[in-house]
Amino acid sequence: GEDVEQSLFLSVREGDSSVINCTYTDSSSTYLYWYKQEPGAGLQLLTYIFSNMDMKQDQRLTVLLNKKDKHLSLRIADTQTGDSAIYFCAETGAGNMLTFGGGTRLMVKP
Amino acid sequence: DVKVTQSSRYLVKRTGEKVFLECVQDMDHENMFWYRQDPGLGLRLIYFSYDVKMKEKGDIPEGYSVSREKKERFSLILESASTNQTSMYLCASSYQGGAFFGQGTRLTVV
- Higher model confidence: residue A98 or residue B76? B76
Q: Would you call A46 helix, strand, or coil by DSSP?
A: strand
- Note whether A54 and A42 are within 8 A (CB): no
Q: Which member of B31, B42, B102 has the closest CB to residue A102?
A: B42
Over residues B8-26, the mean pLDDT reads 96
- Is the minimum CB–CB distance between A29 and chain B shorter than 8 Å? no
Q: Which residues contact B84 (CB under 8 A, 6 or more apart)?
A: none
CA distance B107 to A48: 30
* The pLDDT value given to residue A42: 83
Does the pLDDT of residue B19 top 90, yes or no?
yes
- Note whether B103 and B6 are within 8 A (CB): yes
Neighbours of B6 (CB within 10 A): 20
Question: What's the pLDDT tens digit per position in B46-105?
Answer: 998 888 988 988 889 999 999 999 999 999 999 999 999 999 999 998 876 567 889 999
Count of A–B CB contacts within 8 Å?
52
- Note whether A79 and A18 are within 8 A (CB): yes
Neighbours of B35 (CB within 10 A): 27
- Model confidence at A76, in pLDDT bands (50, 70, 90)? very high
In this structure, is the dihedral angle defined by the CA atoms of residues A73, B94, A60 and A67, taken in order, positive or negative? positive
* Highest mean pLDDT of the ranges A39-48, A78-87, A100-109, B35-44: A78-87
**Is there a contact between B42 and A98 if contact means CB atoms under 8 Å apart?**
no
User: Based on the number of CB atoms within 10 Å of its own CB, is A62 exposed (0-12), middle (13-18) or buried (19 or more)?
Assistant: middle
Chain A's closest residue to B90, CA to CA, is A42
What φ, ψ does residue B85 adopt, rounded to 5°? -100, 5
Q: Which member of A31, A44, A45 has the closest CB to residue B96?
A: A31
- Model confidence at A91, in pLDDT bands (50, 70, 90)? confident
Q: Judged by CB atoms within 8 Å, which residues 3-22 of A form the interface with B?
A: none
Reported as type and span, the H/E element at residue B87 is strand B87-95
- Separation of CA B106 from chain center: 11
Does the pLDDT of residue A109 top 70, yes or no?
yes
Q: Measure A11 CA to nearest chain B CA, in Å.
A: 18
- Model confidence at A51, in pLDDT bands (50, 70, 90)? confident
